[in-house]
Structure 1
Amino acid sequence: MNEVREFVIGSYHTFTDWDCFIQSGWTLDSAKPKTKYVDIPGADGQLDLTSALTGQVNFDSREFKASLIFPITKSRSAWELLKNTISNAINGQELKIQLPDVKGYFLKGRFSVGKYDDSTSIATLEISATLEPWRYKTMPTILKSTISGTKIVPLENERKSALITIDTNVALTVKFDKKTVAVPVGKTEILDFVLKQGTNNLSITGTNAAITITYQEASL
Protein backbone atom coordinates (compact mmCIF):
# COMPACT_ATOMS: atom_id res chain seq x y z
CA MET A 1 0.00 0.00 0.00
CA ASN A 2 1.40 3.42 -0.95
CA GLU A 3 2.05 5.91 1.83
CA VAL A 4 -0.42 8.80 1.88
CA ARG A 5 1.32 12.15 1.46
CA GLU A 6 0.54 14.67 4.18
CA PHE A 7 1.71 17.84 5.88
CA VAL A 8 2.77 17.86 9.50
CA ILE A 9 1.73 21.24 10.95
CA GLY A 10 2.78 21.68 14.54
CA SER A 11 1.87 18.33 16.12
CA TYR A 12 -0.94 17.61 13.62
CA HIS A 13 -0.76 15.28 10.61
CA THR A 14 -3.20 16.38 7.93
CA PHE A 15 -4.16 12.83 6.96
CA THR A 16 -3.41 10.76 10.07
CA ASP A 17 -5.18 13.18 12.44
CA TRP A 18 -7.66 14.97 10.17
CA ASP A 19 -8.39 12.45 7.36
CA CYS A 20 -7.59 15.18 4.83
CA PHE A 21 -5.82 14.53 1.54
CA ILE A 22 -3.47 17.06 -0.06
CA GLN A 23 -4.76 18.63 -3.25
CA SER A 24 -2.16 18.58 -6.01
CA GLY A 25 -0.63 21.94 -6.81
CA TRP A 26 0.26 23.22 -3.34
CA THR A 27 2.90 25.93 -3.59
CA LEU A 28 5.92 27.20 -1.67
CA ASP A 29 7.77 30.27 -2.87
CA SER A 30 11.54 30.15 -3.19
CA ALA A 31 13.68 32.15 -0.78
CA LYS A 32 14.21 35.47 -2.56
CA PRO A 33 17.37 37.38 -1.56
CA LYS A 34 16.95 40.92 -0.26
CA THR A 35 19.08 42.91 -2.66
CA LYS A 36 20.22 46.54 -2.49
CA TYR A 37 21.75 48.36 -5.44
CA VAL A 38 22.74 52.01 -5.70
CA ASP A 39 23.24 53.91 -8.96
CA ILE A 40 26.59 55.73 -9.17
CA PRO A 41 26.46 58.61 -11.67
CA GLY A 42 29.25 58.41 -14.24
CA ALA A 43 30.04 54.76 -13.43
CA ASP A 44 29.11 51.53 -15.16
CA GLY A 45 26.51 49.31 -13.57
CA GLN A 46 25.39 49.69 -9.95
CA LEU A 47 27.02 49.43 -6.53
CA ASP A 48 25.91 46.22 -4.84
CA LEU A 49 25.23 46.86 -1.12
CA THR A 50 23.29 43.63 -0.56
CA SER A 51 25.69 42.25 2.07
CA ALA A 52 27.39 45.51 3.10
CA LEU A 53 25.73 45.78 6.53
CA THR A 54 26.17 42.25 7.92
CA GLY A 55 28.54 40.58 5.46
CA GLN A 56 25.84 38.10 4.46
CA VAL A 57 22.73 37.96 2.30
CA ASN A 58 19.31 38.08 3.94
CA PHE A 59 16.13 36.61 2.43
CA ASP A 60 12.43 37.44 2.24
CA SER A 61 9.76 35.25 3.80
CA ARG A 62 8.27 32.38 1.77
CA GLU A 63 4.56 32.16 1.02
CA PHE A 64 2.95 28.72 1.33
CA LYS A 65 -0.51 27.82 -0.02
CA ALA A 66 -2.38 24.53 -0.06
CA SER A 67 -5.86 23.00 -0.09
CA LEU A 68 -6.92 20.11 2.10
CA ILE A 69 -9.54 17.68 0.76
CA PHE A 70 -12.16 15.84 2.80
CA PRO A 71 -14.71 13.41 1.27
CA ILE A 72 -17.88 15.08 2.52
CA THR A 73 -19.94 12.00 1.61
CA LYS A 74 -18.18 10.36 4.52
CA SER A 75 -20.03 12.59 6.98
CA ARG A 76 -21.21 16.20 6.73
CA SER A 77 -21.31 16.54 10.51
CA ALA A 78 -17.72 15.29 10.68
CA TRP A 79 -16.74 17.94 8.12
CA GLU A 80 -18.37 20.72 10.13
CA LEU A 81 -16.50 19.57 13.23
CA LEU A 82 -13.24 19.25 11.28
CA LYS A 83 -13.43 22.84 9.97
CA ASN A 84 -13.60 24.13 13.52
CA THR A 85 -10.87 21.75 14.69
CA ILE A 86 -8.41 22.85 12.02
CA SER A 87 -9.20 26.55 12.47
CA ASN A 88 -8.65 26.38 16.21
CA ALA A 89 -5.46 24.37 15.76
CA ILE A 90 -3.60 26.50 13.21
CA ASN A 91 -5.38 29.75 12.30
CA GLY A 92 -3.16 32.64 13.42
CA GLN A 93 -0.69 30.30 15.08
CA GLU A 94 3.08 30.32 14.62
CA LEU A 95 3.95 26.69 13.86
CA LYS A 96 6.44 24.37 12.20
CA ILE A 97 5.53 22.51 9.01
CA GLN A 98 7.11 19.40 7.52
CA LEU A 99 6.48 18.92 3.81
CA PRO A 100 5.93 15.43 2.34
CA ASP A 101 8.71 15.79 -0.25
CA VAL A 102 11.39 17.18 2.10
CA LYS A 103 12.32 14.62 4.73
CA GLY A 104 14.40 15.63 7.74
CA TYR A 105 13.62 19.36 7.54
CA PHE A 106 10.93 21.75 8.69
CA LEU A 107 9.93 25.35 7.98
CA LYS A 108 8.20 27.65 10.43
CA GLY A 109 5.91 30.66 10.32
CA ARG A 110 2.38 31.95 10.89
CA PHE A 111 -0.62 30.11 9.45
CA SER A 112 -4.01 31.22 8.18
CA VAL A 113 -7.16 29.32 7.29
CA GLY A 114 -8.94 30.58 4.18
CA LYS A 115 -12.04 29.63 2.19
CA TYR A 116 -14.12 26.53 2.82
CA ASP A 117 -15.87 24.91 -0.15
CA ASP A 118 -18.36 22.12 0.46
CA SER A 119 -20.52 22.66 -2.63
CA THR A 120 -19.60 19.22 -4.05
CA SER A 121 -19.04 15.77 -2.64
CA ILE A 122 -15.40 16.71 -2.07
CA ALA A 123 -14.99 19.48 0.51
CA THR A 124 -11.88 21.66 0.43
CA LEU A 125 -10.26 23.93 2.96
CA GLU A 126 -7.61 26.47 1.97
CA ILE A 127 -4.61 27.04 4.24
CA SER A 128 -1.67 29.38 3.86
CA ALA A 129 1.36 30.57 5.80
CA THR A 130 4.07 33.18 5.76
CA LEU A 131 7.20 31.18 6.51
CA GLU A 132 10.79 32.00 7.32
CA PRO A 133 13.12 31.46 4.33
CA TRP A 134 15.06 28.65 6.00
CA ARG A 135 14.54 24.89 5.98
CA TYR A 136 15.72 23.80 9.42
CA LYS A 137 17.00 20.31 10.13
CA THR A 138 14.45 18.42 12.18
CA MET A 139 17.14 17.38 14.65
CA PRO A 140 19.98 19.64 15.81
CA THR A 141 23.50 18.59 14.88
CA ILE A 142 25.32 17.00 17.83
CA LEU A 143 29.04 16.19 17.92
CA LYS A 144 30.74 14.46 20.85
CA SER A 145 34.51 14.46 21.37
CA THR A 146 37.20 13.88 23.98
CA ILE A 147 40.01 16.39 24.43
CA SER A 148 43.42 15.82 25.99
CA GLY A 149 45.65 18.72 25.04
CA THR A 150 44.71 20.65 21.90
CA LYS A 151 42.50 19.19 19.21
CA ILE A 152 41.07 20.53 15.96
CA VAL A 153 37.34 19.77 15.82
CA PRO A 154 35.76 20.33 12.37
CA LEU A 155 32.10 21.33 12.30
CA GLU A 156 30.19 21.02 9.02
CA ASN A 157 27.42 23.58 8.63
CA GLU A 158 24.76 24.22 5.99
CA ARG A 159 23.92 27.64 4.49
CA LYS A 160 22.51 29.51 7.53
CA SER A 161 24.95 30.92 10.08
CA ALA A 162 24.72 29.09 13.40
CA LEU A 163 25.72 29.52 17.04
CA ILE A 164 27.11 26.59 18.99
CA THR A 165 26.49 25.31 22.51
CA ILE A 166 29.29 23.44 24.28
CA ASP A 167 28.64 21.09 27.21
CA THR A 168 31.87 20.10 28.97
CA ASN A 169 32.96 18.39 32.18
CA VAL A 170 36.12 20.56 32.51
CA ALA A 171 37.02 24.14 31.61
CA LEU A 172 38.17 24.65 28.02
CA THR A 173 39.82 27.20 25.78
CA VAL A 174 38.29 27.40 22.31
CA LYS A 175 39.75 29.28 19.34
CA PHE A 176 37.89 30.03 16.14
CA ASP A 177 38.10 32.70 13.47
CA LYS A 178 40.82 34.71 15.29
CA LYS A 179 38.83 34.71 18.55
CA THR A 180 39.61 32.85 21.79
CA VAL A 181 36.95 32.05 24.38
CA ALA A 182 37.23 30.48 27.84
CA VAL A 183 34.42 27.95 28.30
CA PRO A 184 33.48 26.96 31.88
CA VAL A 185 32.19 23.61 33.11
CA GLY A 186 28.61 22.93 32.09
CA LYS A 187 26.53 24.00 29.10
CA THR A 188 27.39 27.34 27.45
CA GLU A 189 26.09 28.99 24.29
CA ILE A 190 29.07 30.63 22.57
CA LEU A 191 27.95 34.02 21.26
CA ASP A 192 31.45 34.97 20.05
CA PHE A 193 31.54 32.30 17.33
CA VAL A 194 29.28 32.13 14.29
CA LEU A 195 29.57 29.04 12.11
CA LYS A 196 29.63 29.77 8.38
CA GLN A 197 28.63 27.53 5.48
CA GLY A 198 31.03 24.63 5.01
CA THR A 199 33.78 23.38 7.33
CA ASN A 200 34.49 25.34 10.51
CA ASN A 201 37.62 24.25 12.41
CA LEU A 202 37.56 24.82 16.17
CA SER A 203 40.82 24.54 18.12
CA ILE A 204 39.88 23.22 21.56
CA THR A 205 42.28 22.89 24.50
CA GLY A 206 41.45 20.97 27.67
CA THR A 207 42.56 18.15 29.97
CA ASN A 208 40.56 14.90 30.00
CA ALA A 209 37.56 16.75 28.62
CA ALA A 210 34.39 15.07 27.39
CA ILE A 211 32.47 17.60 25.31
CA THR A 212 29.22 17.79 23.39
CA ILE A 213 28.76 20.48 20.73
CA THR A 214 25.23 21.26 19.53
CA TYR A 215 24.02 23.59 16.79
CA GLN A 216 21.02 24.06 14.50
CA GLU A 217 21.67 23.70 10.77
CA ALA A 218 19.43 25.18 8.07
CA SER A 219 19.48 25.48 4.30
CA LEU A 220 17.45 27.34 1.68
Structure 2
Amino acid sequence: MNLGVTFDNLYHTVKDWMLRFASLQIDEPSIQTYQLTVPGRDGILDLTDALYGRTTYLNRTITMNFWTEFDHDGHLQSELMNALHGKRMTFILDNDPEYCWTGRLSVHVQKNCPAITEVMITADCEPYKQPVTKLGAPLERSL
Protein backbone atom coordinates (compact mmCIF):
# COMPACT_ATOMS: atom_id res chain seq x y z
CA MET A 1 0.00 0.00 0.00
CA ASN A 2 1.27 3.45 -0.87
CA LEU A 3 0.91 6.04 1.86
CA GLY A 4 -0.45 9.38 0.83
CA VAL A 5 -2.12 12.56 1.98
CA THR A 6 -5.72 13.71 1.50
CA PHE A 7 -6.21 17.47 1.06
CA ASP A 8 -9.66 18.91 1.95
CA ASN A 9 -11.17 15.56 0.90
CA LEU A 10 -10.68 16.75 -2.69
CA TYR A 11 -7.27 15.39 -3.64
CA HIS A 12 -5.18 12.39 -2.67
CA THR A 13 -1.48 12.33 -3.52
CA VAL A 14 -1.48 8.69 -4.67
CA LYS A 15 -4.90 8.45 -6.32
CA ASP A 16 -4.80 11.80 -8.15
CA TRP A 17 -1.11 12.29 -8.95
CA MET A 18 0.54 8.88 -8.31
CA LEU A 19 2.98 10.48 -5.87
CA ARG A 20 5.00 8.13 -3.68
CA PHE A 21 6.08 9.20 -0.19
CA ALA A 22 9.82 9.77 0.17
CA SER A 23 9.91 11.49 3.57
CA LEU A 24 7.85 13.36 6.14
CA GLN A 25 9.11 15.91 8.64
CA ILE A 26 6.86 17.42 11.31
CA ASP A 27 8.71 20.18 13.15
CA GLU A 28 7.88 21.11 16.72
CA PRO A 29 6.03 24.40 17.19
CA SER A 30 7.99 27.31 18.64
CA ILE A 31 6.99 28.49 22.10
CA GLN A 32 5.29 31.86 22.03
CA THR A 33 7.19 33.77 24.68
CA TYR A 34 6.67 37.21 26.12
CA GLN A 35 9.46 38.61 28.25
CA LEU A 36 9.80 42.06 29.74
CA THR A 37 12.87 43.89 30.90
CA VAL A 38 12.07 46.00 33.94
CA PRO A 39 14.55 48.78 34.81
CA GLY A 40 16.17 48.16 38.19
CA ARG A 41 15.05 44.49 38.27
CA ASP A 42 17.52 41.62 38.10
CA GLY A 43 16.75 39.24 35.26
CA ILE A 44 13.92 39.29 32.77
CA LEU A 45 10.26 39.07 33.79
CA ASP A 46 8.78 36.07 31.95
CA LEU A 47 5.08 36.69 31.20
CA THR A 48 4.69 33.76 28.80
CA ASP A 49 2.04 31.97 30.91
CA ALA A 50 0.46 35.11 32.40
CA LEU A 51 -2.47 35.59 30.00
CA TYR A 52 -3.77 32.01 29.59
CA GLY A 53 -2.11 30.24 32.51
CA ARG A 54 -0.37 27.89 30.07
CA THR A 55 2.25 28.01 27.37
CA THR A 56 1.02 28.93 23.89
CA TYR A 57 2.71 28.00 20.63
CA LEU A 58 3.39 29.44 17.19
CA ASN A 59 2.83 27.52 13.96
CA ARG A 60 4.83 24.46 12.97
CA THR A 61 6.16 23.41 9.58
CA ILE A 62 5.31 20.08 7.98
CA THR A 63 7.37 19.04 4.97
CA MET A 64 6.23 16.17 2.76
CA ASN A 65 8.53 14.87 0.02
CA PHE A 66 7.25 12.70 -2.83
CA TRP A 67 8.46 11.31 -6.12
CA THR A 68 6.78 9.95 -9.23
CA GLU A 69 7.63 8.35 -12.56
CA PHE A 70 4.31 9.45 -14.08
CA ASP A 71 4.97 12.98 -15.31
CA HIS A 72 5.83 12.24 -18.91
CA ASP A 73 3.79 15.13 -20.31
CA GLY A 74 5.12 17.68 -17.76
CA HIS A 75 1.67 18.74 -16.49
CA LEU A 76 2.15 17.64 -12.89
CA GLN A 77 3.59 20.96 -11.74
CA SER A 78 0.63 22.91 -13.16
CA GLU A 79 -1.88 20.50 -11.62
CA LEU A 80 -0.26 20.71 -8.17
CA MET A 81 0.08 24.50 -8.31
CA ASN A 82 -3.56 24.94 -9.27
CA ALA A 83 -4.81 22.49 -6.66
CA LEU A 84 -2.60 23.21 -3.64
CA HIS A 85 -0.09 26.07 -3.90
CA GLY A 86 -0.90 29.03 -1.64
CA LYS A 87 -4.12 27.52 -0.37
CA ARG A 88 -5.08 27.00 3.26
CA MET A 89 -6.25 23.42 3.52
CA THR A 90 -6.94 20.67 6.00
CA PHE A 91 -5.07 17.46 5.30
CA ILE A 92 -4.97 13.94 6.67
CA LEU A 93 -1.94 11.65 6.55
CA ASP A 94 -2.85 8.07 5.61
CA ASN A 95 -0.73 6.72 8.47
CA ASP A 96 -2.64 8.88 11.02
CA PRO A 97 -6.27 8.86 9.73
CA GLU A 98 -7.87 9.86 13.04
CA TYR A 99 -6.28 13.33 12.98
CA CYS A 100 -5.88 16.22 10.56
CA TRP A 101 -3.65 19.26 10.20
CA THR A 102 -4.62 22.71 8.90
CA GLY A 103 -2.19 25.04 7.21
CA ARG A 104 -1.15 27.07 4.17
CA LEU A 105 0.56 24.98 1.50
CA SER A 106 3.45 25.67 -0.83
CA VAL A 107 4.53 23.34 -3.62
CA HIS A 108 7.95 22.89 -5.20
CA VAL A 109 8.39 20.55 -8.18
CA GLN A 110 11.80 19.54 -9.46
CA LYS A 111 12.70 17.25 -12.34
CA ASN A 112 16.33 16.11 -11.98
CA CYS A 113 16.13 13.50 -14.73
CA PRO A 114 13.61 12.65 -17.44
CA ALA A 115 12.22 9.65 -15.53
CA ILE A 116 11.73 10.97 -11.97
CA THR A 117 9.91 14.06 -10.72
CA GLU A 118 10.38 15.16 -7.11
CA VAL A 119 7.65 17.08 -5.29
CA MET A 120 7.97 18.91 -1.98
CA ILE A 121 4.79 20.12 -0.27
CA THR A 122 5.40 22.37 2.73
CA ALA A 123 2.63 23.38 5.12
CA ASP A 124 2.73 26.26 7.61
CA CYS A 125 0.37 24.64 10.12
CA GLU A 126 -1.45 25.39 13.31
CA PRO A 127 0.49 23.96 16.27
CA TYR A 128 -1.95 21.14 17.08
CA LYS A 129 -3.44 18.37 15.01
CA GLN A 130 -7.19 17.97 15.48
CA PRO A 131 -9.40 14.88 15.62
CA VAL A 132 -11.16 14.37 12.30
CA THR A 133 -14.51 14.13 14.11
CA LYS A 134 -14.28 17.82 15.11
CA LEU A 135 -14.28 18.97 11.49
CA GLY A 136 -17.78 17.98 10.47
CA ALA A 137 -19.23 15.99 7.62
CA PRO A 138 -17.08 16.97 4.60
CA LEU A 139 -13.91 15.32 5.93
CA GLU A 140 -15.69 12.31 7.42
CA ARG A 141 -16.63 10.88 4.04
CA SER A 142 -14.58 7.93 2.91
CA LEU A 143 -12.62 8.11 -0.30
TM class by shorter chain equals: 0.7 to 0.9
TM (norm. structure 1) is: 0.54
* Residue segments in structure 1 that go unaligned for 5+ positions in a row: 142-220
SS in 2 for 1:102: coil
TM-score under structure 2 length normalisation: 0.80
Q: Is 1:119 aligned with 2:118? A: no
1:60 Cα shift? 0.8
**Letter of the structure 1 residue corresponding to residue 66 of structure 2:** L
Indicate the RMSD between aligned Cα atoms, in angstroms.
2.2
2:2 and 2:21 in contact (8 A); partners too: no
Distance between the aligned counterparts of 1:62 and 1:140, measured in 2? Answer: 20
The reply on whether 1:14 has 2:13 as its aligned counterpart is yes
Aligned counterparts, 1:191-206, within 5 A = none
Give unpaired runs (5+ residues) of structure 2. Answer: 136-143
Point out which structure has higher relative CO (alpha carbons under 8 A, 6+ apart): 2
Instruction: Give, in whole Å, the separation in 2 of the partners of 1:42 and 1:92.
Output: 46
SS in 1 for 2:83: helix
In the aligned structure 2, how far is the partner of 1:52 from the partner of 1:42?
Answer: 18
Report how many aligned residue pairs link the two structures: 133
Residue 120 of structure 1 deviates from its aligned partner by 4.3
* Sequence identity percentage: 24
- Choose between structure 1 and 2: higher strand proportion: 1
Higher share in helix: 2
CA displacement 1:135-172 (0-9 Å, x = unmatched): 1110029xxxxxxxxxxxxxxxxxxxxxxxxxxxxxxx
Shift of 1:96: 0.6
Name the SS for the 2:36 alignment partner. strand
